[in-house]
Structure 1
Amino acid sequence: MNSHYGSSSYLASSFSSSNNDDYYDDLEKQVVCQITTRNNFCIAQHQNNEGSHMGSIPGHMVVNRDRENADRNLFNDYFAENPRFSALMFRRRFRMGRALFLHIYDAVQRHDNYFVQRRDGLDATDEYIKIGESTALESLKRFCHAVFEVFGTSYLLSPNADDVARLLNIGESRGFPGMLGSLDCMHWKWKNCPTAWGGQYAGRSGSPTIILEVVADYNLWIWHAYFGLPGSNNDINVLEASHLFADLAAGISPPANYVIKEKEYNMGYYLADGIHPKWSTIVQTIREPLGPKKQLFARKQEACKKDVERAFGVLQSRFAVVAGPTRLWNKMILHDIMTSCIIMHNMIIEDERDFNAPIEERLEVPNLEFEMVGNDDARFQEFLARHRKIKDNDAHIALRNALIEHLWDEYSIGKLV
């Protein structure tokens, strides 16, 4: 697999180049100039047409939202050459740096002319902008769909060979050789779920929800996202329906070779909670650990698994639209909203990642070339063998026991946490 925006090799080179700084400076000046020109044009046009019409529908009340002053205040506060608020305040309000914001703005604008005609669609849908509810919803839908189409192929990819090598190195430094991330599910409440679907989507809370399955690493990068199953399903059903192990079963996933207690393994694993099945690719905690070895393992496993829980918390804190109940009806629109939030979450992680952290040591691995078996029957038998290996219960128990002994050897003497 070639390097992509989420890969470690791309990140190490892209943000160390002065050419990118020049690009963002030029882009920022261009966008600010466009905003200023459009702002002046809209104000002049409004003044010329003032009083010519009284609303889109005769007889409806017209609310004077004072959009001109609101737009002028927004521009002066954050986008002027010398803005009123600092870069830190920009980051607090828009949840991302100014350069990244303008990069998304430019890409979405070039993808969809809707945002060239109405700049309001890229702004926050709150009291600052003073736009109507219907316009805000239309802008939200089109913006999320544009983000998904423009950036989805770059920020929703599975880890390549270099990424896997880096993740294995990070897992080993945290006491879990072979760990590729943490796996868990989140429920998004669907307030306006159609009544006919209410029973199907109602989960343990009694309210309709839609499930999001995620794999996240230690710095909260989301490598896998599967969204859309009804809330009545449990984590086992979601895992069976998702494509998490599709490449592994097909034999085209990057290598994940590691050693525990002098035994070699060739399949990575994810940390998960107790409800997940006992597969060789999933390591669960021990619910009631007996003895110091199992207690140490349970503490370390639960501490590392909090990566995915922190990712859920950060995702919801950054994007209020996925923090509370959704009031939209169309499930495809909900998919675009959730997916676009995950994409922008990964873009922020990429933009703000600390490359000087010692845990970021990376290993370079050559890209693999897979040779497929010509015979269909032999290829199918190999697929079945890999599928059985993924779901091997005995291999799961053996791996967990090996990790228990490994952690005890690493942390028991003067290193207990």
Structure 2
Amino acid sequence: MLAYGVAADAVDDYVRIAESTTIECLEKFVEGVISVFEDEYLRKPNLNYLRRLLQMEEGRGFLGMLGSIYCMHWEWKNCPKAWKSMYMNVYHGVATIVLEVVVCSDLWIWHVFFGVSGSKNDINVLDCSPVFDDILNDRAPEVNYTINGNNYTMGYYLVDGIYLEWAAFVKSISKPQKEKHKLFAQYQEGQRKDVKRAFGVLQARFAIICGLARFWKKKKLANIM
């Protein structure tokens, strides 16, 4: 079910397990994976990885960059009718749940925020997201770098044009005219493809999120994601 996205009753004759038992096994399996690997793979960068991350991104021309922020919608087929309007994605006309991630260039997804209704856009999702909690609570490690003679102590993220003009966001240049602006836009947009590649790899390895979300409870969908 995770790898190929097949229905719970698709292989019941082969594995000799009833549909309800298959679903229960899937739920227990993802809970087990989270229990074993959460501390290592669902954590924020520690100081050692942060140094490696900054060196990696500096080698690609972006000093002080912590990754790219992007959102993906997962269509929720079995969304309860009472929630249908809240989760309705106006662009696609279906109920969706939003996944927000931060991805660095080695495709490590070091920030995950899942469960926001599909009626919200990237900005609304950011308002609910804990991605800046450490900065607001003065717990974030300093990121020191110098650009054009100016010293900075806070890292930043690459984003697309919908995001606000915050110091923590670096966007591309719309309709660049000068050569240096064209060069910057080319590099910024090229670097942001990492997050789309990460989504592509995620969906290729776990086809269950390529199809429709078929569970009724958000908690189970969150565990799968």
What is the TM-score when the length of structure 1 is the normalising length?
Answer: 0.50
1:372-411, aligned counterparts within 5 Å? none
1:246 to 133, 139, 143: 133
Q: Does 1:221 align with 2:128?
A: no
Partner of 1:307: 194
Q: CA separation in 2, counterparts of 1:269 and 1:329? A: 37
Q: Does 1:188 align with 2:74?
A: yes
Q: CA separation in 1, counterparts of 2:159 and 2:122? A: 10
CA RMSD of aligned residues (A): 1.7
Partner of 2:94: 207
Offset of residue 150 of structure 1: 2.4
Q: CA separation in 1, counterparts of 2:47 and 2:24? A: 40
Partner of 2:48: 162
Q: CA separation in 2, counterparts of 1:303 and 1:295? A: 12
CA contact (8 A) 1:214 1:222 kept: yes
Offset of residue 252 of structure 1: 1.2
What is the TM-score when the length of structure 2 is the normalising length?
Answer: 0.92
Offset of residue 290 of structure 1: 1.7
Partner of 2:63: 177
Q: CA separation in 1, counterparts of 2:156 and 2:138? A: 16
Query: Could you report, residue by residue, the CA deviation over 1:92-148 in whole angstroms, capped at 9, with x for unpaired residues?
Result: xx79xxxxxxxxxxxxxxxxxxxxxxxxxxxx9864635332221111111112222
Offset of residue 302 of structure 1: 0.5
Between the two structures, name the one with larger relative contact order (CA 8 Å, sep ≥ 6): 2
Partner of 1:74: none
Partner of 1:114: none
Q: CA separation in 2, counterparts of 1:332 and 1:172? A: 38
Q: Does 1:277 align with 2:164?
A: yes
Gaps of at least 5 residues in structure 1 are 1-93, 96-123, 339-417
Please give the secondary structure, in 1, of the residue aligned with 2:162.
Answer: coil
CA contact (8 A) 1:164 1:255 kept: no
2:148 to 254, 261, 267: 261
Q: Does 1:337 align with 2:216?
A: no
- Relative distance call for 1:240 and 1:173 in structure 2 (3 A) is same
Please give the secondary structure, in 1, of the residue aligned with 2:114.
Answer: strand
Please give the secondary structure, in 1, of the residue aligned with 2:116.
Answer: strand
Matched residue type, 1:245: F
Query: Could you report, residue by residue, the CA deviation over 1:148-202 in whole angstroms, capped at 9, with x for unpaired residues?
Result: 2222122111011111111111111111111111110000000010111111101
CA contact (8 A) 1:256 1:268 kept: yes
* Matched-pair identity in %: 50
Matched residue type, 2:124: N
CA contact (8 A) 1:161 1:255 kept: no
Please give the secondary structure, in 2, of the residue aligned with 1:177.
Answer: coil
Identify, as 1 or 2, the structure richer in helix. 1
Q: CA separation in 2, counterparts of 1:318 and 1:245? A: 29
Query: Could you report, residue by residue, the CA deviation over 1:226-269 in whole angstroms, capped at 9, with x for unpaired residues?
Result: 00000000100111111101111111112211111121110000
Q: CA separation in 1, counterparts of 2:57 and 2:202? A: 23
Offset of residue 287 of structure 1: 2.2
Q: CA separation in 2, counterparts of 1:335 and 1:274? A: 28
Would you say how many aligned residue pairs link Structure 1 and Structure 2? 217
Q: CA separation in 1, counterparts of 2:114 and 2:64? A: 26
Q: CA separation in 2, counterparts of 1:224 and 1:283? A: 18
Query: Could you report, residue by residue, the CA deviation over 1:13-32 in whole angstroms, capped at 9, with x for unpaired residues?
Result: xxxxxxxxxxxxxxxxxxxx
Query: Could you report, residue by residue, the CA deviation over 1:344-365 in whole angstroms, capped at 9, with x for unpaired residues?
Result: xxxxxxxxxxxxxxxxxxxxxx
CA contact (8 A) 1:184 1:213 kept: yes
Q: CA separation in 2, counterparts of 1:273 and 1:247? A: 23
- Relative distance call for 1:151 and 1:303 in structure 2 (3 A) is same
Q: CA separation in 2, counterparts of 1:159 and 1:125? A: 40
- Relative distance call for 1:297 and 1:197 in structure 2 (3 A) is same
Matched residue type, 1:218: S
Partner of 1:198: 84
Query: Quick check: which has more Rg, 1 or 2?
Result: 1
Partner of 1:33: none
Partner of 2:211: 324
Q: CA separation in 1, counterparts of 2:101 and 2:143? A: 20
